[in-house]
Amino acid sequence: MAIYWSYRGVLALIPWTAYLSIVLPPHFRADDWNVAWVGFDCAIMAVLAATAWAAWHQRQILAAMSIIAATMLVCDSWFDVSTSFGTSDQVFTLLNALLVNIPVSMFLLFLARRIMLRTAEVLAAALNSGPVPHHVHEVVMPFVTQIHKSATSTEIKSDPLK
């Protein structure tokens, strides 16, 4: 069911994005521009603080927080760079994106990947469920794994998203 709705969302965004590319003006004056940017930067700080807390306390939620923080940093870089073209801030925002936000995002995504793979490894060993996944796309969701026990063997069936 989740796959169905995910694909529908992607398909719906294609014409919407094409429409916006035609109708949106190249210039737009926004009120409270500073509130929008400061608010987004405060949200990034809150997510990074939660990520640091999860790392300090070695909590599993660190994987999710890392992905969220990385996504927000990439979005911040995109909007900083794309809105600074032709201004005096152009070089600074580009350097900030290339030297700070993007490398930190890559580290956070690597960290999330490492957590997911290590968790899958430990779970596979605990359940004796066969080969350990070596790539994130091979990791199945453990909460939908069904264990079928019979008198002679234990069979583990994974059926994610059902």
pLDDT of 62 over the 90 cut: yes
Rounded distance between C-alpha atoms, residue 102 and residue 121, angstroms: 28
pLDDT confidence band for 56 (50 / 70 / 90): very high
* pLDDT, position 142: 65
Listed residue (136, 87, 140, 146) closest to 115, CA to CA: 136
The pair of three-digit structure tokens given for residue 1, joined into one six-digit string: 């069911």
Rounded distance between C-alpha atoms, residue 34 and residue 110, angstroms: 32
Residues 123-139 pLDDT 10s: 888 877 778 888 888 88
The model's pTM is 0.79
Residues 78-103 pLDDT 10s: 999 999 988 999 999 999 999 999 99
CB 62 within 8 A of CB 51: yes
Residues 135-162 pLDDT 10s: 888 887 766 555 555 555 555 555 544 4
Phi, psi for residue 145 in degrees, rounded to 5: -70, 130
